[in-house]
Amino acid sequence: MKKFFLSLAAIAFMFAACEPKTPDNPDTPDDPDEPEEQVDPIVIDGEFDDWAKLDQASVASAKNNADSPWTAVKQMRVYATEAYVYYYIEFDSTEAKDQLASWDEAHPGLPMRININIDGEFTSGYAKYSLDAYDYIIEGSLADKGQWVSFDGTLHQRYDGDWVELLKEGSGMCVGAGNGNKYEIALDRQVFDRVEKKSNPQAIGNVLHTGLRFYTHDWGELSNLPNSSIAEGNGDGWGHLLEVTTVK
C-alpha cells in the first residue's frame, strides 16, 4: 500500500511539472516568444548624457565650418532608431544667451526648420540652404519669451513648386528640450509616416538625409547645418545633408 501511494505522488508531480503556462499560473517560466520591451536610447530631458553612451559610429554629425558665414551653432548630431529620429544641437554659449534674450511681443520665439529628404533623390524638391534638395520641412520654435520650450513644429511637403502643410504644429510629431546652450529633439517616425503625403514614398526609409536651418526671433538668418566654406560655385557656404542610417 505504501508503494502504491508513492507511485500516485510521483504521477501527480509529473503532471504538475508538465502543466502549461497560463495567466493564472505565475510560477511557470516566461514565454520565450514574448517580445522584449523596447527602451529608448535617448530621453528628451535636457540632460544630454545619454548621447555619449551611443555607438558613435552610428551617430551622424556636422560641425560648423570656421570659414562658413555662420557662428551661432557649433554642431549637430543625428541618431535614428526604428521608432525615432533624434537630433542634438549645440549653440555657441554667447550666441545662445543673446538669442534667448532677443525677443519681443511680436516675435517671442526662436524659429528653426528640420529639413528632410526621405527618398534619396536630390534633383527634385527644394534646393536652397543645402547642396542637396529635400522634400519636407518641420518648422517650429525652440524657445518662447527667452525660455527653451518643446519643439513640435508644422510639417510641410514641397509639392508642385510650393510648400503644402500636412500636419499642424503641436500634433505630437516632435518633442524637444533645452538646457544652457544645448537642445535635443525626438521625431516620432510613426506620426510622420502615417501622415498622407502628396507623393511616394510615404514613410521614412532605412536611410534618410537631413539638415537644420536656424533663424533669429524675427526670422533673420542665424545659422545653417551642415555647412561649408564659401567657395566658387558655393557662395552661400551651404553643405550636403547628413546621411543617417537607422539602427536596428
- 3-state SS track over the chain: CHHHHHHHHHHHHHHHHCCCCCCCCCCCCCCCCCCCCCCCCCCCCCCCHHHHHCCHHHCEEEECCCCCCCCCEEEEEEEEECCEEEEEEEECHHHHHHHHHCCECCECEEEEEEEEECCCCCCCCECCCCCCCECEEEEEEEEECCEECCCCCEEEEEECCEEEEEECCCCCCEEEEEECCEEEEEEEHHHHHHCCCCCCCCCCCCEEEEEEEEECCCCCEEEEECECCCECCECCCECCCEEEECEC
Which residues fall within 8 angstroms of residue 140, CB to CB, at 6 or more apart? 111, 112, 151, 152, 153, 154, 169, 174
Sign of the torsion formed by the C-alpha atoms of 187, 190, 196 and 197: positive
Please state the rounded mean pLDDT for residues 206-210.
97
**Residue with grid cell 525652440, as numbered in its chain:** 142
Give the mean model confidence (pLDDT) for residues 148-163. 97
- State the pLDDT at residue 123: 83
pLDDT tens-digit readout, 111-128: 999 999 999 999 889 999
pLDDT band at 40 (very low <50, low <70, confident <90, very high): confident
- How far from 117 is each of 132, 134, 186, 216, CA to CA, in Å? 9, 5, 17, 24
**pLDDT recorded at residue 144:** 97
* Per-residue confidence (pLDDT) for residue 34, from 0 to 100: 57
What confidence tier does 38 reach under pLDDT thresholds 50, 70, 90?
A: low
Q: Express each pLDDT in 43-78 by its tens digit.
A: 999 999 999 999 999 999 999 999 999 999 999 999
pLDDT class of 210 with cuts at 50, 70, 90: very high
Res 7: pLDDT: 46
Return the domain boundaries, the chain. 49-245
Residue 22 CA to residue 31 CA, distance in Å, equals: 10
Read off the pLDDT band of 37 (50, 70, 90). Answer: low
C-alpha distances in angstroms, 65 versus 28, 94, 141?
60, 18, 24
Residues forming a β-bridge with 31: none
Looking at residue 25, what is its pLDDT? 46
Identify whether the C-beta of residue 170 lies closer than 8 Å to the C-beta of residue 153: no
Closest of 205, 213, 212, 214 to residue 244, by C-alpha: 205
Amino acid identity at 100: L
Q: Please, are residues 242 and 210 in contact by the beta-carbon 8 Å criterion? A: yes
